[in-house]
A = this chain, B = another copy of it.
Amino acid sequence: MEDKLMLMIPGPTPVPEQALLALAKSPIGHRSGDFSKVMADVTAKLKWIHQTENDVLILTASGTGAMEAAIVNFLSKGDRVLVGDNGKFGERWGDVCDAYGINAERVKAEWGKALDPEVFRAKLEADTNKEIKAVIITHSETSTGVMNDLETINSHVKAHGKALIIVDAVTSLGAMNVPIDALALDVVASGSQKGYMIPPGLGFVAVGPKAWEAYKTANLPRYYLDLGKARKDAAKNSTPFTTSVNMVMALQVSLGMMQKEGLESIFARHLRHRNAARAAAKALGLGLLADDASASHSITAVVPPEGLDAEKIRSVIKKNFDIVLAGGQDHLSGKIFRIGHLGFVSDRDILTAVSAIEATLQQLGYTGFTPGAGVKAAIDKLS
């Protein structure tokens, strides 16, 4: 059967029909008055979901473009920064820094473990000359389903007083609470195909006043990703370069849906799904890569029992049920599969995925659970 695909990956995430239909509208001119109105509305809605009164800028780029913009606009060559590195996207922060000649000191944790805030505290406290210009971390590490302790690490950055905090919130924004103004987060990057419920193609960067101060002296080269240009044009409800008009129109629709649902409900839904997915995995005798205390609300990385290959599970569930789960990246390939419960995902989708996982495990001859146990555990958490 065709056209019955169900995405349960951490991006692209499912897109609601009304956002898809907005995508299919004929484009309007990006310099028109009509489009300025769309931009004004979308920007206001973006500020709402970012919980900020400061700037949220739209880039025609994927999340990685937004991450690069978060670096090149606020740092200079040779700057010392601390980079949290406990997964593929933490690694990527370091790679971006390396590409621009930034002195990036990695604070590492094993893939699957959370970053230790104490290491940040110690390094920041030891930095009495205030040489550390930024602390750069991934909030929800997509590759492992680990949520780093943004609030505690941020408190150490604030105690330092000088360093900026730069955050990859690609799989947390619009899914988990990221109270940008309440925490005074300086720079926060995210991407459209995640909590925003539209396809990939737009990146977002929230920028606070302390970061704009740093912008004035930051000397890394930039043009397309220059957020100063973006800010200047955003003040006129426009963009310096042609924006992805149709994607912005779809975003207006999806953000409108999110406003109707409300931030608290959205966050509660993601938390509920996280809890249901984890309870189901445990009831099925499967392992979980992240521990309970640091489990992301948007992605659950599951470790199959000895003898069952994660890629085999993924291919069978795709073949039998047209459900796409994500695999492990890099050295975790074949060792885990990841359930994305991010964005436009309902309780029904969680039950569907859990029951299909049960059926798949049974077909693969795995007998380590009581039939129905996974679904039962999920129902308990959902109700």
A positions within 8 Å CB-CB of B: 5, 7, 9, 11-12, 14-15, 20-21, 23-30, 32, 60-65, 67-68, 95-96, 99-101, 191, 193, 199-201, 220-226, 240-247, 324, 326
Q: Assuming the A-B contacts A222-B99, A224-B64, are A242 and B200 also in contact, with contact meaning beta carbons closer than 8 angstroms in the complex?
A: yes
Contacts of A65 in B (CB 8 A): 60-61, 224, 241
Smallest CB-CB separation from A26: which chain B residue? Answer: B15
The contact sample of 12 A-B pairs, CB cut-off 8 A, is: A5-B26, A7-B26, A7-B28, A7-B29, A9-B29, A23-B24, A32-B324, A60-B60, A62-B241, A62-B242, A99-B226, A199-B245
- Shortest distance from the beta carbon of A25 to any chain B beta carbon, whole Å: 7
Contacts of A199 in B (CB 8 A): 27, 244-247
Contacts of A240 in B (CB 8 A): 64
Contacts of A101 in B (CB 8 A): 221
A79 vs B174: C-alpha distance when bound (angstroms): 44
- Shortest distance from the beta carbon of A77 to any chain B beta carbon, whole Å: 9
- Shortest distance from the beta carbon of A122 to any chain B beta carbon, whole Å: 29
Partner of A193, one of B5, B27, B193: B27
- Shortest distance from the beta carbon of A134 to any chain B beta carbon, whole Å: 16
Contacts of A29 in B (CB 8 A): 7, 9, 12, 324, 326
- Shortest distance from the beta carbon of A105 to any chain B beta carbon, whole Å: 19
* Cβ-defined contact, B201 with A60, below 8 A: yes
